[in-house]
Amino acid sequence: MRIGMRLLLGYFLIVAIAAWFVLSIFLQEVKPGVRRATEGTLIDTATLLAEFAKADMLAGNAQNGQLAQAFSRLNQHSFKANISGITKSKNEYRVYLTDTKGIVLFDSNGKATGEDYSRWNDVWLTLQGKYGARSTPVNANNPESTVMYVAAPVRDGPNIIGVLSVGKPNSAMDPVIRRSERRILWAGVALLGIALLIGFGFVLWINRAIGKLVRYADSVTTEHPLPLPKPASSELRKLALALESMRLKLEGKTYIEQYVHALTHELKSPMAAIRGAAEILRECPPPEVVEKFSANILQQNLRMQKLVDNLLRQAKLESRVEIAAQPINLPALFSSLCDSREVLACSKQISLRIDKNVPEELVVEGDPALLEQAVGNLLDNALDFTPPDGEVVLSVEQHIGQTTILVSDTGSGIPDYAKERVFERFYSLPRSNGQKSSGLGLAFVHEVARLHRGTISLKNRSEGGVQARLTLPEK
């Protein structure tokens, strides 16, 4: 099972257990809570009606007094009330009045008048000056038929002269309880659904970040590895840096072998030339021959020195993981590069210019020294492969989230067989003068693009020549 699915199941299980625990507590508290609220209403009603019953008892007319007449009129009138979706159409209260001996003087149902209720808790406790209440089933075989009774004393001054009890069937509260339970259950289902959606989004985010790291790790063994991803999470960012560090360490042996083989291959030609010149000089040739071959030795020595310096610079660049990005003004960079190569361009009769559409205040983020060397290499490459009366142009394209530096020339273009190898170390094509370069310039540009999390590409122009595109993302 994938780690994302495990995280989602674990997260959902925790939320489900927590929701079940909370919902079970709520559901267990719904019924007692409703009944406690009902009991509070009953005691208020009983206390109020006890004041009306007092006058009837003092007048000796409890059966036909004001309280009895009020209930008689109440039972003759119908009503209909919609209480938050619950319909109420009849009075559900039962009220009875007893004397100090517990004998029922008035019963709103008209059934218990004259009976002895002195043993019921509501009457017995109230006559003793305590809080009296009871819950009694109407049908002994049906525990759901209980009626809650709450009593209040009828007082004449400090003396208790009777007890008034108000009862209400517990079944009358069932619609409220069931509705509350349904709402709580629906809220629980909604909570689980929302939690599942949040968990699913969280897992997608993790899977996407891990997927980027996996694709980066898979691309390490290819010729064109993907740029190092930059996850939003600090932990995943550390993992990405650890993968990059591991990649560099694992590539160490192969890296050294490649450089040794490449260096050996590239040094063969100048060393052979130096050896041949030295053998001729040992024979004490005429001065003009000595001067010629001495100059050849110095030229080949300079060539080897440049090759070693380029290799060291390339190796140092490829060992870097990150750069310290700074704001760079592109028009100023272009101007500096063109000024430094103006003499060379004039000597080759090549027009070197900056496109007039480049914004004067265009700024990108990057390493100033590396970016200057990279664009300089592209410029040198364009000058090397452009014939006399040709043109090299520096320009810029801007898109949402990225800036592309363009170096366009009017040379002969890239042969089809070389298009896939131009960024390989030591791979080079003959210049316009027939000579070859070290083959490290474009490899250097490729590494600079990688460090800037950008891309570099070369393509032949339809009108002739090559266009180099160095794309830098906005930070």
DSSP 414-425: --GGGTTTTTST
Structural domains of the chain, count: 3
DSSP for residue 61: -
Please state, in angstroms and rounded to a whole number, the distance separating the CA atoms of residues 253 and 264.
16
Inter-axis angle of helices 287-318 and 441-451, to 10 degrees? 20
The residue to which tokens 């007039």 are assigned: 356
309 falls within a domain:
yes
Bridging pattern class, strands 351-354 and 391-399: parallel
Say yes or no: 171 and 32 in one domain.
yes
Q: Are residues 449 and 337 in the same domain?
A: yes
Q: Which residues pair with 427 in a beta bridge?
A: none
Cβ pair 215, 225 in contact under 8 A: no
Task: Using the Cα atoms of residue 289, residue 290, residue 295 and residue 296 in order, give the sign of their dihedral.
Answer: positive
Q: Angle 85-90-95 (CA atoms, 0-180°, nearest 5)?
A: 125
Residue with tokens 């002994």: 140
Strands 391-399 and 363-366: unpaired
Do residues 44 and 243 touch, judged by C-beta distance below 8 A? no
What single-letter DSSP state applies at residue 158? T
Structure-block tokens of residue 62: 């409890």
Amino acid identity, position 268: K
pLDDT tens by residue, the chain, 475 residues = 566 666 667 767 777 777 777 767 766 666 777 778 888 889 999 999 998 899 889 888 888 888 888 888 876 666 665 666 556 656 778 899 999 999 999 998 888 889 999 999 999 999 999 999 998 887 878 877 788 899 999 998 889 999 999 998 887 777 776 777 777 778 777 877 787 777 777 777 777 777 777 777 777 666 566 666 666 666 667 777 776 676 666 555 555 555 565 566 556 667 777 888 788 888 888 888 778 878 878 877 776 776 666 666 656 655 555 677 889 999 999 999 899 888 888 888 999 999 988 888 888 888 888 888 889 889 988 888 888 999 999 999 988 888 999 999 998 888 888 788 777 766 676 655 545 555 667 887 888 888 888 899 999 988 888 999 999 987 6
Q: Which long-range contacts (CB under 8 A, 24 or more apart) does 138-146 make?
A: 138/169, 144/170, 144/171, 145/169, 145/171, 146/170
- Measured CA to CA, the distance from residue 360 to residue 332 in angstroms comes to 8
Task: Flag whether 371 is in a domain.
Answer: yes
CATH code of the domain containing 423: 3.30.565.10
> 374 lies in which domain range?
326-473
Residues 426 and 279 in one domain: no
Give the number of other CB atoms < 10 A from CB of residue 95.
22
Same domain assignment for residues 315 and 369: no
State whether 107 and 163 are in the same domain.
yes
